[in-house]
Amino acid sequence: MSTATFDTFEFNKALREGGFDERQAETLTKAQAKVVEQTAHDGTNYATKQDVVELKKDMAEMKADIFRAMMLQTFAIAGLVVAVVKWMN
């Protein structure tokens, strides 16, 4: 996943140029930087196309594994039924 970058200097500068005093700009800059940092640590970044491709591949592999397990189970049950029928005769 990609990582978001946050330029605190440019953000602070834009706030001051927009009319915020130094104290207000500093407070908002700190708060915004904390949000960006928490978002990165919480893993709430957006998925990329590559993430989606890998997820689809993993799901296809899981589907194949489940199918193989079901077939094995079916053959095992069929074998058990045949053995019981032979044993009863």
Q: Please report, for the chain, the start and end positions of each structural domain, with discontinuous segments joined by +.
A: 1-46, 47-89
Specify the pTM. Answer: 0.44
Q: Say whether 43 sits in a helix, a strand or coil.
A: coil
pLDDT of residue 73: 96
pLDDT tens digits along 20-58: 999 999 999 999 998 888 777 666 567 788 888 999 999
Question: Do 11 and 29 contact (CB within 8 A), yes or no?
Answer: yes
pLDDT tens digits along 60-82: 999 999 999 999 999 999 999 99
Report the greatest alpha carbon distance in the chain: 95
